[in-house]
Amino acid sequence: MSYKISNLYERYPELKKIDYSISKAFSMLKRTILDDGIIFTCGNGGSASDAEHIAGELLKSFLIRRSTSSKFRIKAKKVIGKIDGNKICDGLEDGIRSISLNGHPSFSTAFSNDRSPSMVFAQQLHVLGRRGDTLVAISTSGNAINVLNALKISKIKGIRSILLTGSLGGECSKIADLSIRVPASETYKVQEYHLPIYHALCAMLEEEFYG
């Protein structure tokens, strides 16, 4: 068992009951990275912040300092010269490909006005998503219609899907490939469990690819 996951269970022993789901989520996300896929995230309400948070932890260093690869540094120096190449590489970090579908306000407001607010995530995933990608969808109730529609698109397009939700699961759990159902149903309690779970997953992925 990874230190990161065992540490999670030490702090939140009740989560050990859903160890299979958390471990399976790690395997799915690892497979996505190995396939050079993109990890998409989306969430409704307060979970929108969690979706942004996950993408942020993946795109840059989290617990381990990441440097640019030697291959990229060699290419940078060849293309823009040794001094500028080293300077640009020293200012960058390698990361895991991730896009938050909550992060495009100009598109979201325009599409909501012109078409339908409930299809904002679905539209982006329809255009950007490909087989080999994974959607991490977050809904505390499991019934957020915008999240549900995104999960339906993932099913149509053959995109893997992981749902972070509460104990009831809701309609979203019927569509998602994998549901991580935390042992709570009240919104704020569900959210309090979601953060340490996705932090552990991000840390495990970072350890796997940059440790």
Per-residue pLDDT for the chain (211 aa), expressed as one digit of tens each?
677 888 999 999 999 999 999 999 999 999 999 999 999 999 999 999 999 999 999 999 999 999 999 999 999 999 999 999 999 999 999 999 999 999 999 999 999 999 999 999 999 999 999 999 999 999 999 999 999 999 999 999 999 999 999 999 999 999 999 999 999 999 999 999 999 999 999 999 999 999 9
The answer on 84 and 123 residing in a single domain is no
Contact (Cβ atoms closer than 8 angstroms) between residue 22 and residue 196: no
The pLDDT, as a whole number, for residue 2 is 72
The pLDDT, as a whole number, for residue 68 is 95
The answer on 86 and 112 residing in a single domain is no
Q: What is the CATH number of the domain that holds 134?
A: 3.40.50.10490
The answer on 78 and 10 residing in a single domain is no
The distance of Cα 110 from the centroid of its chain, to the nearest Å, equals: 24
Domain that includes residue 174, residue range: 3-60+96-210
The answer on 176 and 113 residing in a single domain is yes
Token pair 């995109």 in the structure block, residue: 159
The answer on 88 and 28 residing in a single domain is no
The answer on 132 and 195 residing in a single domain is yes
The domain tally of the chain equals: 2
The answer on 100 and 87 residing in a single domain is no
The pLDDT, as a whole number, for residue 56 is 97
The answer on 143 and 191 residing in a single domain is yes
- Closest CA relative to residue 204, chosen from 13, 17, 14, 19: 19
The answer on 111 and 37 residing in a single domain is yes
